[in-house]
Amino acid sequence: MIAIDTNVFIYSADDSDIAKHTIAKSLMLARAGAGDTVLLWQVASEFLRWLRRAVEKGNVSQVGADHAFREVRDLFKLNPPTEQVLDIALDIYRRHSLSHWDSLLLAGCIDAGVDTLYTEDLSHGVVYSSVTVLNPFVP
């Protein structure tokens, strides 16, 4: 299974960096067609929060924000966390010295059976527990 982190969805909705916007949109469409990509609850929540802030700042219309969120929700199956995510996150936090949110993200991946996470927030190519991190913006 594969997961995509919030930053990729943000770039897909924000075209201020055309190169990253193009890569993010291409990745989303490629992964949606594969059918093996999940939308983690934490990622959906973070993306929705980013969209709401963009609306508040006047950077995105409410209609645009709703469309961007619906697009992500329609492309990928939402995977809510189980109770074990918190225990997994504590272990990851201790073993890898990651931030609270990164530990929760990786724990959500493990809980969902994800073995590959696309993100620019963690080190490209590193395997955290059973999750390999790939930065889609690395040339």
| Residues 78-93: tens digit of each pLDDT | 999 999 999 999 999 9
- Predicted confidence at residue 92, as pLDDT, reads 94
Residue given tokens 């989303």 in the structure block: 28
- Predicted confidence at residue 65, as pLDDT, reads 95
Task: Give the domains, in start order, of the chain with CATH numbers.
Answer: 2-134 (3.40.50.1010)
Enter the pTM of the model: 0.92
- Predicted confidence at residue 33, as pLDDT, reads 76
- Predicted confidence at residue 9, as pLDDT, reads 96
Spatial distance between the Cα atoms of 135 and 58, rounded to a whole number of angstroms: 29
- Considering the chain, what percentage of its residues have pLDDT values greater than 90? 91
- Predicted confidence at residue 62, as pLDDT, reads 95
For the chain, list residues with pLDDT below 70. none
For the chain, the maximum distance between any two Cα atoms, rounded to a whole number of angstroms, is 42
Instruction: Please list the residues that pair with 31 across neighbouring strands.
Output: none
